[in-house]
A and B are shown apart, each in its own frame.
Chain A
Amino acid sequence: MNSFKTKKQILDFITHAILLVVAVTCIFPVFWMLSSSLKTQEEIFTKMTLLPEVWQWSNYVDAFIKAEFGMYFLNSIIYTVVGVSAIVLVTSMAAYGFARLEFWGKNFLFYLLISTLLIPIPGVFVPLYLLLKKLSLLDTRTGLLLCYISGALAFGLFLLRSFFEDLPKEIEEAALIDGCSRFGIYWRIALPLAKPAIATLVILQCLAIWNEFLLALVVLQDKAKMPIQRGLMVFQGTFITDYPLLMAGLTIATIPIVIVYLLMQKHIVKGIAAGALKG
């Protein structure tokens, strides 16, 4: 028994050693970004200390105002809030329809709408660009938002329809007899009950829109409309060696995502694992 115990201890030690090394590797680049964002440019060029000598909080003031990261940040907030709200509204309504209501071509339409989950469509940004140009939506917030919303349709529908189907029908039927309209049932009964699934959708889409870059690159030219990911590349292209401000910008782009992640990590991890294993 004694030797069994020591063998387990050795295994535990090796396990922790490996996990710890990987964990440090995950965190260090993020730490380095934070630390460098508080250094002076001279410090970055001449020293490699882990922490700044004097913490330059003014870098963040410069980043927000001079480097215009405040504007980009605000744009990202707008895209995320409006985009995710619209995604929830559009996909939950449709998912409820597919789960509960009868209409023509229901099954065909459902599989058509979620088909984009199964078929990889690389380079769809090319025809999207041309479409937005034709609709005079190129270089507009609306154009970019429409791309984001339609890009999330298949996933949202897939996630929410099965959730609505699993809800008990009895409450809805009782409400129908009491004279509640179909839309009223969806809005006042089904939607509140679907909160857990909607939470997963909201969190995953917040991450997706906040981090999106390629469509923002294709659709937008005007700096005033750019989300922060795009703004970072604009800044980096103009001020190549202003590392402290760049790192401050990167930190500004990262903090909201890390806060949401840490608060919601159980939802995110569960949502990803469940979504992946189901599919």
Chain B
Amino acid sequence: MNISPKEKTLNMMFIMPALVLFLVFNLYPLIRTFQLSFYQWNGIDKEMLFIGFAQYKHILFNNPAFWKSMINAGYVTLLSLTLQNGLALLLAILVNRQIRGGNIYRVIFFLPPVLSGIVVGLIWKFVYDGNFGILNHWLISLGFENFKDFAWLSEIKTSLSSVAIVHMWKGFGYGFIILLAGLQTIPIELYEAAEVDGADKWQQFRNITVPCMIPVFTLVTILTILGSMQIFDLIYSMTRGGPAGHTHVPITKIYEYMSNGEFGYSTAMAVIFGFVLLVISFVQLFVSKKFNR
């Protein structure tokens, strides 16, 4: 069937609204991010001062607070990858045992992920509160008297871990759902055959479950890394980067520089951070492909 040029043009109308929105609100801001990162600009002046890679250099070599924020996000990510995803996998395996009430657990475990980051952050801020928080109340009734008035979110030693715990509380249900869906795609015949051959549960897990699940593990790992590195709402609602910058993460830093009118500097930071995220996900995909063979 031949389609006339006129019809081809008319057909374009279907994608026009999406295309225009994409060009203006997705592509242009992306290009603008790169462009601005080479300029020193406060967002108000007519003149933008071209300074090449100076801001990149400054962020990478003279801005320990940026690196601190990367390490903080990395810490949250590492905890999520191990504790949170370990828990998610354990729970997925348990629910996959076809136990009674499995669906109720599924509904409950996915409740924290549908709540907003602000709501979760503010509830937990109240739970952690030094004076009126229920956490300290319980700890004191269990006999840990020294937790009286202990402000979890304002102490340098505990603030980041306390936020990380909330982040994992909010996030494990997401990995759980994906892992469970993955487990359910493994044909049951594989296990039956292994059973006949006399393989025990551990051997079945190692030789059937793990190899079948590698693509799903990869996916959950990438989603966890991207989600945890870009944590913002919880930090903003619980600590705003405090005490003394000890819970700052890259997005709160970018937001902070932007709020101070350092548009060029904040976009340079966004480019560096985006590049790091891209490298991480590519490495992860590459490693898992090698593993898979």
A-side residues, CB < 8 A to B, are: 11-12, 15-16, 18-19, 22-23, 25-27, 29-30, 32-33, 36, 44-45, 48, 89-91, 93-94, 96-98, 101-104, 109, 112-113, 116, 119-131, 133, 146-147, 149-151, 153-154, 157, 182-183, 186, 207, 210-211, 213-214, 217-218, 229, 232-233, 236, 243, 246-247, 250, 253-254, 257-258, 261-262, 265, 268-269, 272-274, 276-277, 279
Contact = CB atoms under 8 A, between A and B. Distances in A.
A131 B135 CA distance: 45
A102 B278 contact: no
Contact of B11 (A102, A120, A277): A102
Contacts of A16: 99, 101
B91 interface: yes
Nearest to A18: B94
Contacts of A133: 43
B122 A103 contact: no
B: interface residue count bin:
35 or more
B214 to A, nearest CB: 13
Given A131-B32, A153-B22, A182-B11, 8 more contacts: A25-B169, A29-B120, A102-B3, A102-B8, A123-B274, A125-B255, A129-B258, A247-B126
Contacts of B216: 277
Contacts of B182: 277
Interface string B1-38: 00100011111101101110110111111101100100
Interface stretch (B49-57, B109-117, B203-211): B109-117
Given A26-B173, A213-B236, A253-B119, A44 B132 contact: yes
Contact of B123 (A32, A96, A149, A210): A32
B95 interface: yes
Given A254-B119, A272-B174, A277-B216, A265 B107 contact: yes
B8 A104 contact: yes
Given A19-B94, A120-B281, A246 B122 contact: yes
A261 B108 contact: no
Interface string B77-96: 00000000001001100110
B267 A127 contact: yes
A204 to B, nearest CB: 10
Given A122-B230, A250-B119, A98 B15 contact: yes
Contacts of A97: 11-12, 14-15
B46 interface: no
Contacts of B278: 119-120
B118 A232 contact: yes
Contact of B270 (A123, A146, A186, A268): A123
Nearest 6 interchain pairs by C-beta: A123-B270, A97-B14, A273-B181, A150-B25, A211-B116, A94-B18
A19 B111 contact: no
A247 B124 CA distance: 11
B112 to A, nearest CB: 6
A153 B77 CA distance: 28
* Chain B CB within 10 A, most for which of A11, A149, A250, A272: A250
B164 interface: no
B123 A213 contact: no
A16 B105 CA distance: 10
Given A26-B108, A123-B267, A48 B273 contact: no
Given A103-B9, A246-B122, A253-B119, A124 B15 contact: no
A261 B14 contact: no
B59 interface: no
Nearest to A186: B14
Contact of B21 (A18, A90, A103, A211): A90
B178 A273 contact: yes
* Chain A CB within 10 A, most for which of B14, B27, B266: B14
